[in-house]
Structure 1
Amino acid sequence: MSDHARPSPPQANPQGLTTAEVAERMARGEVNDVPVRSSRSTADIVRGNVFTRFNAILGVLFLIIVVAGPIQDGLFGFVIIANTAIGIIQELRAKKTLDSLALIGEAKPTVRRDGTPAPLSTSEIVLDDVIELGPGDKCVVDGEVVEADGLEIDESLLTGEADPVVKRPGDPVMSGSFVVAGSGAFTATKVGRQAYAAQLAEEASRFTLVHSELRTGISQILKYVTWMMIPVAIGLIVSQLYVENHDWREAVRRMVGGIVPMVPEGLVLLTSIAFAIGVIRLGRKQCLVQELPAIEGLARVDTVCLDKTGTLTEGGMDVTELRVLDGDETYAASVLAAFGAADPRPNASLQAIIDAYPDGSDGWHCTGSLPFSSARKYSGATLRDAHGESRTWLLGAPDVLLPPGHPELAGVDEHGARGLRVLLLARATKPLDDPSVMDGIEPTALVVLEQRLRGDAAETLRYFAEQNVSAKVISGDNAVSVGAVAAKLELPGAHSPVDARRLPAGRDEMAKVLEGGSVFGRVTPQQKRDMVGALQSRGHNVAMTGDGVNDVLALKDADIGVSMGSGSEATKAVAQIVLLNNSFATLPSVVAEGRRVIGNITRVSNLFLTKTVYSVLLALLVVIWRVPYPFLPRHLTLLSTLTIGVPAFFLALAPNRERAQPHFVRRVMRFALPMGVIAGIATFVTYLIARHHYHGAGELDAETSAATLTLFLISMWVLAIIARPYTWWRIWLVLAMGLGFLAVLVTPWLQAFFKLKLVGTEGPWTAVGIAVAASVALELVWRWISRRPA
């Protein structure tokens, strides 16, 4: 409903709407009813798999065969139906997996109703609801601030401006922005499709098959194939009609027989299936892939930037020591307890303090607060004691609050070297809103915190090291402390941590330091982003993991962003991969899945494009030599099924741990071109010899059969090369395809159906001899290619 069609909303009630008011708005349809879409709709999936360029081409050719007959030459039409059905079924399975995972990871903002805050699904929010905000929370609808306590909102997803915006009551908030500091509440002024959130969700959670080197490369190849088909088709139909004087039906069949094998129709399908099955496999491990190419992208990554907190360490922390610097321990503990009580949305460090000192605030009352910010590295509070005296307190990183060389920093470094986190509680002499509040502070106590290491972190880091993927720990904590944690996990280079405050500003200079180091502390959110950009400028494919608001900018700019499921809504919105089980150890599974997809699609692409090359070459040779095209469509359907279609399906889904290599098109074509040329020339030579041998005997079927035998044997050797390294099932796969062709040759009704007839002994053995010679050439070429870098 539009704004002018409803009365102006009353002044927002801080207690939120009543149940009756919610029901009234639901009846008017003022609900945030935008569905969470993690994938294409069922209709889009069906359309996307049915209405493709190649289905259109092959569909037209199939209709031509239906008219010209016989139907045996239109077998490829039934293959189109089967392939399309497989594609639809697999993507629907992937959609079901994604949809269920998206519900698990869906944001549940805290909404006040009848005076009670409770988490609700975004689809249950109605107009004028009062929604609470805290650090890391995402604004899911548009609204207007009604409460603000140091509230700072990052609107970079909307405006591109990285600096957070301070919000006060009456200021607007836009869906898609997120809180970086402070807390507050706002009323919903736009819900449903009127809110910007509808557009953001559509873009951030879409099931997509774009921006992939594999798919881009395949599309590029297929575009060239499509343009080649037009002149070849014209040449073939002219040659068969006017040179060979075939009747139009035979000319059309021969033309279609020459065109159909040029189209690698199964290649796009297999790529989609491989990606979709990857999503299903990762979904079983509680890994939500928000963009399919992220599987491929992470497999190509050579540098992983890790945020220590939440990635290498668990979210929880424990207070292990309170070292009093001024006063007594009871006094310091009461201040810390009051500090904790003053923050409604404590971070992990403050939560550990709250757990350690739940009571005993001793009459302290908070009159003002400054929430923790990753840019500031400290938080503050103005506390009034039981006697009415107000004092300003700061809690944060000692090396930020204290000047360099301060005697207390020596003890901090000692704790940091053991992997402990240290916070300084200090009394300030100036008010919180004074920009120089840190000047002249009085240290009161040091709070020593111990982080909990993830049990699987060390094994995961070892995996990346074995795969030649460089791991960089980038944290806002003290560099020495971060280095100690990384050293416990046996990360190479952890004993030489770098303080990011001393990093050079220039991108090239920064990149040199980054390539040489492994651990970086005191990194600001903007520096994280700059570090990702510096590594990318050196040609690195960078993945960034994180769970906090301070990681969002770097996650957005990284080649692949990985968020923890327990992380802030902002990080999950911009990440391509969300680890719903919060386990860093899931990343190797994503890398392995990506390598399986890339390696296997590259492998089967060699099969499909070898066929394309020899098909184009055979068509050109037929036009040049002015002879009948040697094959009917049914012959090439049989060959494609046994040497490409069935084997490619199994090979595309097989385990594959080969490291992902760049330059997909170049790597495939350097194999397919020589292999296709050898297969095409050998087949055409067999055909010419057979024509001479059977000339005048009316044995066109015999000539075609000899050429088919040669092409099958050569294609089987190409398959044998592609299937390496051999395992028992790959050997059986190759043998089964050979037995399938043999069954056609020895079964009378199959001979008649496929018009295959081996006449005499000289012609067939000549075909076998040429195929053997060609296979030797294939083997030599393959060995030469495999020894040379791509």
Structure 2
Amino acid sequence: MARMKILVQNIYSLETLAHVDTLCLDKTGTITDGTLRVHSVVPLADIPEKELESLVQSYMAASDDNNATFRALKERFPQKEIYSPVHKIPFSSKRKWGCVSFAGVGTLFAGAPERLLSRIPEELEEELLEGHRVIAIAFAEDIWEDAEHLPDRLQSLYGVSLEDTIRKNAEKTLDFFKKEGVDVKIISGNHVKTVSMIAKRAGLLNWQDAVDMSAIQGEPDYDMLCEYYSVFARVTPKQKQELVRTLKSQGHQVAMTGDGVNDLLALREADCSIALADGSDASRQISQIVLLDSDFTNLPQVVMEGRKVIHNVTRTAGVFFIKTIYSVLVSLFCLIANQPFPFIPIQITLVDACIEAYPSFLTILEADIRRIRGRFLPTAFSHALPFGAVIALMIGVISLLAPFTTGERQTVMYLLLIILSMAAVIKSCIPINPLRIFICVTMVIGTFGALLILPGLFEVQAVTASMAVYTIIAALVCLLLTFFFGKADEKKEKGIGGETAL
């Protein structure tokens, strides 16, 4: 992960992201690279250009706003303190405008065109359809101090279109999530036409299913919106949070990417929060994953890493749980039947080392990136239960019925324990590949080699012909039982229709 410049602040977030089935993306800085530049300036008033530029330059000099939009505007309109500011209202993503009042001149406003213009001119409509962000600049003659309302009369001065570059692998990344069954939602504060066109250029399948949240009267029906729309425009921070909360209430595992303070509520609400390194300090601090190069196209690599971790842990746990299950059941049997536990510590140590730890350690090297189905604990437990239960049953039957001495019975039970534990490891290695063949072969050679070389250490007796026949027959019966128990469990899982995730 470090090589991919991805900081995982909470390790469990890898598992969470691997299970995500809904991914919410911001447009600016996520799908696009966030490096805005002015594409065109459209004059909207019959006022000398020099006078207009003087007002805008004074606004840029007085404004404290320093996001990507204003950095691009300040580059196009260099800051000059031509007029003296007397009052400022900073830009807000909630109200979509900001303003600066100048002594003896009036107030200059900058913000969303649908807020500041009585109608959007055709030239600006074309810019929106090309996926450009449009900022309107308007003027009022009075000093304006009301941060909640706009003046009744505003004179349009400029329409400024800003161009943002779509990330190089954005289309490939969205295609990856589509193939993996992840529903991608784009949530942005920009104009609906801008966002939907960016979504189209980035390759989002349902780019036309767009809604302008600012046009909704009253309380939005978030359940309906989440069901039918993929692109959300003019979204306030609170609405972002509500959208994420609604998706979670519908049973989805939700990941949210963001870079600004307006994303904090949604990042907090999401199951997995992902921040961009060049975003705000607050967004980086509360997020579980930080993309240090601020490139969301690395997200598939995070998902793949999460899958590898989950598959390896699930496979390993499926073998380790076998010992837990049979140990509990055999201990209960020994307590009820007043019999000693059939194995000594050194025997269990051999099983732990050669059959559990050794294969688990080597399979960590594998990159199993299949889609994850089901949940960790039920999956691992269901894989272990047939083997654990059959081992416990085998020990109980042999302890009571086997026609051998105590030492011979213990040797037969130990050999059957080894055979069944190996069978569980071999089953977990399906589908077979060269590495897994090597693991299985060396596991068998190592375990039985240790018994042949050091029988006294492991307190096993020489195997007679009758013991060998009994062991082979018992092993076949036990393997058949585990096979049928396993099949019954698989049918049960299919009947329930386990949750399928990324």
Taking structure 1 as the reference length, what is the TM-score of the superposition? 0.59
In the alignment, which residue of structure 2 is the partner of 1:467?
180
Aligned residues of 2:255 and 2:271 also touching (Cα < 8 A):
yes
Amino acid at match of 2:306: G
How far apart, CA to CA, are the structure 2 residues paired with 1:687 and 1:775?
Answer: 19
Aligned residues of 2:255 and 2:272 also touching (Cα < 8 A):
yes
Q: Deviations over 1:342-379 (max 9, x none)?
A: 225422112112222326x5934433322211112112
2:267 is matched with which residue: 540, 555, 580? 555
How far apart, CA to CA, are the structure 1 residues paired with 2:219 and 2:428?
Answer: 47
How far apart, CA to CA, are the structure 2 residues paired with 1:643 and 1:688?
Answer: 27
Alignment of 1:302-321 (within 5 A): 302-321=21-40
In the alignment, which residue of structure 2 is the partner of 1:99?
none
How far apart, CA to CA, are the structure 1 residues paired with 2:385 and 2:219?
Answer: 45
**Secondary structure in 2 aligned to 1:491?**
coil
Per the TM alignment, residue 505 of structure 1 is displaced from its structure 2 partner at its CA by 5.7
Q: Deviations over 1:626-656 (max 9, x none)?
A: 4443222211221222221222233355322
Aligned residues of 2:63 and 2:100 also touching (Cα < 8 A):
no
Between the aligned residues of both structures, percent identity stands at 32
In the alignment, which residue of structure 1 is the partner of 2:106?
391
How far apart, CA to CA, are the structure 2 residues paired with 1:290 and 1:505?
Answer: 39
**Secondary structure in 2 aligned to 1:494?**
coil
Aligned residues of 1:312 and 1:453 also touching (Cα < 8 A):
yes
**Secondary structure in 2 aligned to 1:379?**
strand
Aligned residues of 2:277 and 2:290 also touching (Cα < 8 A):
yes
How far apart, CA to CA, are the structure 2 residues paired with 1:506 and 1:331?
Answer: 43
Aligned residues of 1:429 and 1:440 also touching (Cα < 8 A):
no
Aligned residues of 1:288 and 1:577 also touching (Cα < 8 A):
yes
Alignment of 1:183-332 (within 5 A): 282-326=1-45, 327-332=47-52
In the alignment, which residue of structure 2 is the partner of 1:351?
71
Equivalent pairs, count? 492
In the alignment, which residue of structure 1 is the partner of 2:348?
636
Q: Is 2:475 the counterpart of 1:771? A: yes
Per the TM alignment, residue 702 of structure 1 is displaced from its structure 2 partner at its CA by 2.7
Per the TM alignment, residue 322 of structure 1 is displaced from its structure 2 partner at its CA by 0.9
In the alignment, which residue of structure 1 is the partner of 2:207?
494
Q: Deviations over 1:48-91 (max 9, x none)?
A: xxxxxxxxxxxxxxxxxxxxxxxxxxxxxxxxxxxxxxxxxxxx
How far apart, CA to CA, are the structure 2 residues paired with 1:458 and 1:676?
Answer: 47
**Secondary structure in 2 aligned to 1:587?**
helix
Amino acid at match of 2:436: R
Aligned residues of 1:684 and 1:707 also touching (Cα < 8 A):
no
How far apart, CA to CA, are the structure 1 residues paired with 2:204 and 2:238?
Answer: 25
How far apart, CA to CA, are the structure 2 residues paired with 1:552 and 1:341?
Answer: 28
How far apart, CA to CA, are the structure 2 residues paired with 1:636 and 1:354?
Answer: 72
Q: Deviations over 1:522-564 (max 9, x none)?
A: 0011111111111111111211111111111111121222111
How far apart, CA to CA, are the structure 1 residues paired with 2:39 and 2:137?
Answer: 15
How far apart, CA to CA, are the structure 2 residues paired with 1:684 and 1:737?
Answer: 27
* 285-294 vs 329-338, which moves further: 329-338
**Secondary structure in 2 aligned to 1:431?**
coil
> Cα RMSD over matched residues?
2.2
How far apart, CA to CA, are the structure 1 residues paired with 2:50 and 2:42?
Answer: 11
Q: Per the alignment, do residues 532 and 440 of structure 1 end up closer, same or farther by CA in structure 2, a change over 3 Å counting?
A: same
Bigger relative contact order, structure 1 or 2, given CA contacts below 8 A and separation 6+? 2
Amino acid at match of 2:59: F
Q: Per the alignment, do residues 530 and 627 of structure 1 end up closer, same or farther by CA in structure 2, a change over 3 Å counting?
A: closer
Alignment of 1:385-534 (within 5 A): 389-403=104-118, 406=119, 408-434=120-146, 435-503=148-216, 509-534=221-246
Alignment of 1:677-696 (within 5 A): 677-688=389-400, 690=402, 692=403, 694-695=404-405
Q: Per the alignment, do residues 573 and 745 of structure 1 end up closer, same or farther by CA in structure 2, a change over 3 Å counting?
A: closer
Structure 1: gaps spanning 5 or more residues? 1-281
Aligned residues of 1:422 and 1:446 also touching (Cα < 8 A):
yes
Q: Per the alignment, do residues 784 and 505 of structure 1 end up closer, same or farther by CA in structure 2, a change over 3 Å counting?
A: farther
Q: Per the alignment, do residues 621 and 437 of structure 1 end up closer, same or farther by CA in structure 2, a change over 3 Å counting?
A: closer
Q: Is 2:323 the counterpart of 1:603? A: no
Amino acid at match of 1:728: P
In the alignment, which residue of structure 2 is the partner of 1:676?
388
Aligned residues of 1:564 and 1:579 also touching (Cα < 8 A):
yes
Per the TM alignment, residue 399 of structure 1 is displaced from its structure 2 partner at its CA by 0.7
Taking structure 2 as the reference length, what is the TM-score of the superposition? 0.92
Amino acid at match of 2:82: G
Q: Per the alignment, do residues 676 and 503 of structure 1 end up closer, same or farther by CA in structure 2, a change over 3 Å counting?
A: farther
1:744 is matched with which residue: 450, 461, 468? 450
How far apart, CA to CA, are the structure 1 residues paired with 2:484 and 2:374?
Answer: 24
Amino acid at match of 1:420: H
Q: Deviations over 1:361-420 (max 9, x none)?
A: 593443332221111211211235xxxx412110111012234xx2x3554333212101
Per the TM alignment, residue 517 of structure 1 is displaced from its structure 2 partner at its CA by 1.2
**Secondary structure in 2 aligned to 1:310?**
helix
How far apart, CA to CA, are the structure 2 residues paired with 1:662 and 1:598?
Answer: 11
Aligned residues of 1:556 and 1:574 also touching (Cα < 8 A):
yes
Per the TM alignment, residue 463 of structure 1 is displaced from its structure 2 partner at its CA by 1.7
How far apart, CA to CA, are the structure 1 residues paired with 2:367 and 2:81?
Answer: 63
**Secondary structure in 2 aligned to 1:447?**
strand
Aligned residues of 1:682 and 1:771 also touching (Cα < 8 A):
no
Amino acid at match of 1:542: V
